[in-house]
Amino acid sequence: MNAIVWGKFGHYRHDVADLADEPDLEFPFVPGSRFRAVNTGINEPALQLNLEDFYKGPEIPWTLAHEEAHYVISGECEIEYHLPPLMIETGTIVARAGDSYYMPRGCRVVWRVLSDEPFRHLCFCFPNPGYPIPVARSQLGKAP
């Protein structure tokens, strides 16, 4: 039997400079796609909280191995979703600044960024999937 692993209290205030100098990355299997991401310093067993920019370009398909909730800070994105177990239940939304949405484990999504500005969102991943991304500049050297 596994013991409970306790997390630490976390706090993050969005800082527009946190993504300013981060390199653009390409989504696996999506040539020409662009995104950038930083971890907010909240990187606990139950949750990894990341700040992400997705850019206009090729659509980005993804299947989640964990649960995710997003809060949109800026930009606009069309999100097509297909729900497990059979992917028969589907839908499409347009997410804009101020919107939140939830994607269950196993959900297949396709993101299509509609805005010229980046689609910036906070990405709450639970449990922590261990995405190997750097810690946000505003959080470096900050006491726990």
What domains lie within the chain, and their CATH numbers? 32-139 (2.60.120.10)
Please count the other Cβ atoms lying within 10 Å of the Cβ belonging to residue 97. 15
What contacts 46, CB < 8 A, 6 or more positions away? Answer: 7, 126, 127, 128
Global confidence as pTM: 0.94
- In angstroms, the CA 85 to CA 113 distance is 26
Residues 111/76, Cβ–Cβ less than 8 Å: no
Digitized pLDDT (tens) for each residue of the chain, 144 residues in all: 778 889 999 999 999 999 999 999 999 999 999 999 999 999 999 999 999 999 999 999 999 999 999 999 999 999 999 999 999 999 999 999 999 999 999 999 999 999 999 999 999 999 999 999 999 999 987 766
